[in-house]
Amino acid sequence: MSEIPPTLDRRRLLRLAAAGAAVAAGGTFAGPASVATAAPVPTPFPGIPRSLALSVPRGVDGSAPLPPLPDPISEGRIARPSRSIPYAPGAPDPRTVTDDVPTELPFAFNRTGYTIATDLPDYLRPWRDRPTTWANVTPNSEHVYLDSQGVVQYRPGWNEPGYDQPVTQIQFGLGCITSYRTEQDPARKALFLTRAKAQANRLIEKRVEKRGAWYFPYPFDFTHAAHSGVSYRAPWYSGMAQGEAISLFIQLSELDGLTAEERTLYRAAADGAFSSLLRADDAQPWVINKNDSGYLWIQEYPGAQPGTGDYTYNGMIFAMFGLWDYFVATGNQLAAQLYDGSATTMARYFPLLRNVRWHSYYCQTHRIPAPTYHQHHINLFRQLHWQTGSPDFAHHQDVLTDDFPSPYLRDGSTIAFAAGTHTLYRLDTAADGTWVAAKGDAQLETKKVTFARATQAPAAMRRRIEDRGIYYRIGAGAYADWWVGEVWPSSFLRGEYLTTVFRPQRTLTFPGGNQPVEVYRFTEDGTAASIKTVAFVNPSKAPFDRRAIVNGRPMCQITAGTLTGYWVAANQITTDGH
């Protein structure tokens, strides 16, 4: 650990007493605020120099890495199909498919009025965060490889037969489309397009036409290891695959480099897939139903009987992305209504998805905490906020992030320790510090350490410890692999981490009653940083465009009014009424 010499740390408090503070229509502070200058006071950071407490290093990337895309059959057992697949014969007639798209919803369902934001910049649209890397354009691993036509095949293990797996093929194709949009090298660009078309063409070739819709079958028997009821004989179908297929066909049809015939075919394929989301559970096959309370569900794992299923959260949201793509491309109002109903369902059942201060649940039926899916839930609710503009989903993302934040830190992350005594912990974890169910983060040992001056140590991990708060794992030095609790300003992670940028901006509210709240402006070295203490007679609002962990605290950055650029701790204010 490196010691930091003590520095003079005194400041003036600026109290903004908003006499009759009003709020402009845009959510910014309006009207004059009386400002009083207080006498110099001692530092508010005992044992920490101002230059450390108010500095945010700029050289560290604090963004959380996206987790690998979920594999919907990784926790199950697949076997050769026990019956034949009724694939549609021959090539489809695009005109017939388009003309046969249903013009009515499958049933009435609850809707709140969520709308689709059609003006999203490209980088915020579905699947743009999931490019297929050039290194993975020709995959060959234990479970995934390309056949002779360049189509992804899924195999249970080396030297076992491979199968078409719709979700794997679709997600690979969507990743290739994302890379095609940004690739500059002509040869690479061409291969990305070739790969994307190969996946789409295989889905079209292996489609099943039933009930006036296209379904993309799983051509193997499958039993989920942990989810009772998920036991299928081929062919079986998934609403996740149906919705994602819409995204693949729509996005592919919008690329340059296609012939007119290809563009027409892919748009017709999107129509055929969309039709499957307009067929209720009163006949087979089906992937969409409503529950007893009238809420719409797109079932990743439909049940054997009408109205039953796993009620899986992530699979439904991924399917919603297809509805978003379809509406933006076609303006189809049924797609908008299905999206509204799906968003209404996600908002209504978020309390059942959430597992307070721990990993969220995978599905309603089994309510099994899902460590590998929790970070997906955070990312998916972030995208629902972008796609709808509703603060509901931004708030859900905030809550999930605080419950169990992404634990991984980039190289260069640093813990600041105030002068004084700190308690360190040995915890029973995996070798790399991650949580293991059988170990449960059990406390193995504690020790007290005392620093005469403020000091720092490398940070290897920041995560929720089971049945505890947020802790840091020390990465090197005399206390390597020991953990210390996140206690600002006694011990905190320096810098800005887990930043989420909101579009549209959100609204925060300061409490009334002259309750004091401190706001902070951070700089790289802390020397030009500032603190203000603000208080308002009445609750007062301001817009903010991002939320992040800043020096160990969830904080929101204000974007307008006299406090533009200042951060405020999230536990000192309310956001969008929460």
Residues 290-342 pLDDT 10s: 999 999 999 999 998 898 999 999 999 999 999 999 999 999 999 999 999 99
Name 115's Cβ contacts closer than 8 Å, sequence gap at least 6.
336, 340, 388, 389
For residue 32, which phi and psi values (nearest 5 degrees)? -70, 145
Q: Which residues is 567 bridged to in the sheet?
A: 520, 557
Q: pLDDT at position 40, please?
A: 31
Residue 110's alpha-carbon distances to 71, 320, 567, in angstroms, are 30, 16, 38
- For residue 113, give the nearest of 280, 436, 341 by alpha carbon: 341
CB 83 within 8 A of CB 549: no
Cross-strand pairs, 506: 544
> For the chain, what is the mean pLDDT?
91
The answer to whether the CB of 325 falls within 8 A of the CB of 332 is no
Closest CA to 368 of 409, 312, 319: 312
Helix, strand, coil % over all residues of the chain, rounded to 5: 30, 25, 45
Which structure tokens are listed for 233? 């004989």
State how far the Cα of 237 lies from the Cα of 85, in Å rounded to an integer: 12
Residue 58 pLDDT class (50, 70, 90 cuts): confident
Compute the residue count for the chain. Answer: 578
* Percent over 90 (pLDDT), the chain: 84
pTM equals 0.92
Average pLDDT for 115-138: 97
Query: In whole angstroms, what is the distance from residue 9 CA to residue 479 CA?
Result: 29
Residues contacting 184, CB < 8 A, separation 6+: none
Which of 345, 366, 362 shows the shortest CA–CA distance to 354?
362
In the structure encoding, which two tokens stand for residue 438, read together? 């059988």
Helices 313-330/239-253 angle, 10° precision: 30
> Looking at the predicted structure, is the pLDDT value of residue 10 above 90?
no
Note the pLDDT tens digit of each residue in 509-528. Answer: 999 999 999 999 999 998 88
Q: Quote the CA–CA distance of 87 and 436 in Å, as a whole number.
A: 44
pLDDT of the residue at 36: 31
What Å distances lie between residue 120 and 279, 342, 386, 522, CA to CA? 29, 20, 7, 30
Element (DSSP H or E) covering residue 547: strand 540-550
pLDDT tens-digit series, residues 82-98: 999 999 999 999 999 99
Whether the CB-CB separation of 72 and 313 falls below 8 Å is answered with no
CA 495 to chain centre: 21
For the chain, what is the largest distance between any 2 Cα atoms, rounded to a whole number of angstroms? 85
Give all strands (DSSP E) within 276-316, no chain letters: 288-290, 296-298
| Rounded distance between C-alpha atoms, residue 168 and residue 144, angstroms | 9
Q: What is the mean pLDDT of residues 155-174?
A: 95
Q: Which pLDDT belongs to residue 37?
A: 31
pLDDT at 1: 53
pLDDT at 61 over 90: no
pLDDT band at 174 (very low <50, low <70, confident <90, very high): very high
The predicted-structure confidence for 331-367, as pLDDT tens digits, reads as follows 999 999 999 999 999 999 999 999 999 999 999 999 9
Percent of the chain with pLDDT over 70: 93
Give the tens place of pLDDT for each residue, 210-247: 999 999 999 999 998 778 888 899 999 999 999 999 99
Query: Within 13 Å, how many C-alpha atoms sit on residue 44's CB side?
Result: 14
- With 0-12 / 13-18 / 19 or more C-beta atoms within 10 angstroms meaning exposed / middle / buried, residue 136 is middle
- Residue 463 reports pLDDT greater than 90: yes
Q: At 149, is the secondary structure helix, strand, or coil?
A: coil
CA angle 155, 158, 161 (to 5 degrees): 40
- What is the pLDDT, as a whole number, of residue 43? 57
Per residue in 259-288, pLDDT tens?
Answer: 999 999 999 999 999 999 999 999 999 999
> What's CA 313's distance to the chain center, in Å?
12
* Buried-state track 311-341, b at ≥16 Cβ within 10 A, e below 16: bbbbbbbbbbbbbbbbbbbbebebbbbbbbb
pLDDT given at position 205:
98
Q: How far is CA 235 from its chain centroid?
A: 31
pLDDT at 185: 98
Q: Which helix (H) or strand (E) holds 386?
A: helix 371-388
Where is 321: in which H helix or E strand? helix 313-330
**In the block, which residue shows the tokens 């520095």?**
7
Report residue 563's pLDDT band, with 50, 70 and 90 as the boundaries.
very high
pLDDT recorded at residue 28: 45
Beta bridge mates, 30: 22
